[in-house]
C-alpha cells in the first residue's frame, strides 16, 4: 500500500491541473510526495523546478543498461503528456520521439488504442470524452461515454475481433472492466469491481486475455473479459506512478508497457511476463527529458492505402443523409464503407466512374469510405447525419 491516499489524488484526476506550492521543498519532502498513487500528470504534482531537483537526484542514484528489443518493426503511437503532443516512438531507438501534432485537448489524455486493421486510434480524456484520432493528429469528437459514477477510464484495448475494452477507476479502491460500444455511446461493466485499488493501463495477449496493473500495489493481474474477475500474477518489479500505458505487439508477441518508474524518475519501455507479471526493461524513453506517456498502442507503419493523388475524385454531400455520390476519372471497381471500429458496414461493386450508394440504414456517426480502382485504393471519412 502506497503512503498517500488516493482520495486526494482523485482530485488531480477530476479537476485537472492544480497549482503546486511555490515554496521550496526539501528533497525528502519531494520523495515523500513522489511515492503516492498519482494517476494523472507529473505536472499536477511537481513544479518544473521540483522535477529538475528530482531528476538530478535520481541521475546520481540510478543507472541501467537496456536490453535489445526483440519485437517486430512496429511503431508505438502515444501522447507525450507533459507537452501534450501526439507522438510516435520507435522501440529500436528510444533516444527520441517523433512529434506528430499538438493535442487540442484541455484534459489529460489517459488512455488510447489503435483500431484493428486501421491507422486510426480511439483516445479518451479524464472526463471520459472519446475521440477518433488520425495518424496525422486530427481529433474528431465521438461521445462522452461514462463508466460507473466517479470513475474515469485509464486504459483501453481492442481485442483482435474488434471489441473495445476499457478499465476505469475512481482512484479510491474501485476499478472495473467495461465493454465500450463507440457507436451506441455506452460502457457496459463486466462483472463487479475487480479488486484493483487503482487499475491503470490495459493490454492483451495473442489469445485476447486482458491484463492490467495496480499503481497502489504494483501488482499485475489477468482480467477475464467475460466475468471481469482479476487473477493476481505477481509484482511488476518497480514503483509505478502517474499515467501508464500498455499494448500488445503482435509482430513480436509481447505485452509492452510505457511506464513512469518512480524508482528511477524516468519514463521507460518494458515488456511484461504474462505468467508472472514481472517486467523487463527495454530502455529509458528520451533519457535527457522527463517525459510521460500515459497510453501507448502499436502501429503498423506499412498499414494503409495508396492515395490517388493524381486521380481527382469527389464524394458528396458530406455530411450525408440518405445517398452518397461518388465520382472519379477512373472506373470504380468496388466501394466499401467501414465504421470507426473497422467493421465493414456496406459493400458494392461497380464498373463506372460515377455512382451512388444508399446509406439511409447507417446509424448517425463518422464512417470511412474506401474506393478501389485497379491496384490502388483511396479512402476518406464522411459523416452520416
User: What domains can you pick out in the chain, each with its CATH number?
Assistant: 75-299 (2.120.10.30), 313-384 (2.60.40.3080)
Residue 175 C-alpha cell reads as 476499478
Which of 309, 306, 270, 265 shows the shortest CA–CA distance to 289? Answer: 265
Lowest-pLDDT range, 31-40, 177-186, 313-322?
Answer: 31-40
What is the signed CA dihedral for 354, 360, 361, 364, rounded to 10 degrees? 110
At 285 the pLDDT is 93
At 221 the pLDDT is 98
Single pTM value for the model = 0.73
Q: Is the pLDDT of residue 251 over 70?
A: yes
Q: What is the pLDDT of residues 353-381, one digit of tens each?
A: 788 899 999 988 778 888 887 766 777 77
At 21 the pLDDT is 43
Q: For 35-175, where are the alpha helices, taking DSSP H only?
A: 48-61
Q: For residue 50, which phi and psi values (nearest 5 degrees)? A: -70, -35
Q: Is 181 exposed, middle or buried (0-12, 13-18, 19+ CB in 10 A)?
A: middle
Q: What is the pLDDT of residues 302-360, one digit of tens each?
A: 664 444 444 456 788 877 889 988 887 778 888 989 887 778 899 888 778 788 899 99
Amino acid at each position: 500500500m502506497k503512503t498517500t491516499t488516493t482520495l486526494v489524488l482523485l482530485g488531480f484526476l477530476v479537476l485537472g491541473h492544480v497549482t503546486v506550492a511555490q515554496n521550496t521543498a526539501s528533497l525528502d519532502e519531494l520523495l515523500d510526495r513522489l511515492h503516492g498513487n498519482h494517476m494523472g500528470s507529473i505536472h499536477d504534482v511537481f513544479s518544473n523546478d521540483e522535477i529538475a531537483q528530482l531528476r538530478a537526484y535520481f541521475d546520481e542514484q540510478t543507472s541501467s543498461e537496456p536490453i535489445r528489443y526483440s519485437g517486430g518493426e512496429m511503431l508505438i503511437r502515444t501522447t507525450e503528456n507533459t507537452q501534450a503532443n501526439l507522438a510516435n516512438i520507435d522501440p529500436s531507438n528510444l533516444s527520441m520521439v517523433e512529434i506528430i501534432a499538438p493535442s487540442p485537448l484541455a484534459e489529460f489524455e489517459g488512455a488510447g488504442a489503435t483500431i484493428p486493421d486501421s491507422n486510426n486510434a480511439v483516445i479518451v480524456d479524464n472526463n471520459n470524452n472519446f475521440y477518433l484520432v488520425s495518424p496525422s493528429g486530427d481529433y474528431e469528437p465521438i461521445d462522452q461515454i461514462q463508466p460507473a459514477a466517479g470513475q474515469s477510464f485509464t486504459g483501453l484495448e481492442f481485442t483482435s475481433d474488434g471489441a473495445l475494452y476499457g478499465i476505469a477507476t475512481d482512484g479510491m479502491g474501485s476499478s472495473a472492466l467495461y465493454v465500450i460500444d463507440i457507436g451506441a455511446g455506452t460502457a457496459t461493466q463486466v462483472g463487479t469491481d475487480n479488486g484493483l485499488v487503482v487499475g491503470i493501463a490495459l493490454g492483451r495477449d495473442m489469445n485476447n486475455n486482458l491484463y492490467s496493473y495496480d499503481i497502489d500495489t504494483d501488482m499485475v493481474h489477468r482480467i477475464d473479459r467475460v466475468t471481469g474477475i482479476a487473477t493476481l500474477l505477481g509484482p511488476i518489479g518497480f514503483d509505478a506512478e502517474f499515467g501508464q500505458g500498455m499494448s500488445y505487439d503482435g509482430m513480436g508477441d509481447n505485452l509492452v508497457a510505457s511506464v513512469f518508474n518512480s524508482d528511477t524518475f524516468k519514463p521507460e519501455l518494458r515488456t511484461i511476463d504474462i505468467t508472472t507479471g514481472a517486467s523487463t526493461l527495454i530502455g529509458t524513453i528520451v533519457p535527457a527529458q522527463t517525459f510521460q506517456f500515459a497510453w501507448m498502442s502499436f502501429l503498423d507503419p506499412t498499414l494503409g492505402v495508396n492515395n490517388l493523388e493524381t486521380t481527382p475524385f469527389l464524394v458528396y454531400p458530406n455530411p450525408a443523409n440518405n445517398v452518397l455520390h461518388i465520382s472519379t476519372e477512373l472506373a470504380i471497381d468496388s466501394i466499401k464503407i467501414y465504421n470507426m471500429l473497422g467493421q465493414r458496414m456496406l459493400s458494392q461493386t461497380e464498373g463506372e466512374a460515377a455512382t451512388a450508394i444508399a446509406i439511409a440504414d447507417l446509424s448517425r456517426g463518422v464512417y470511412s469510405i474506401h474506393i478501389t480502382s485497379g491496384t490502388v485504393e483511396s479512402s476518406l471519412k464522411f459523416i452520416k447525419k
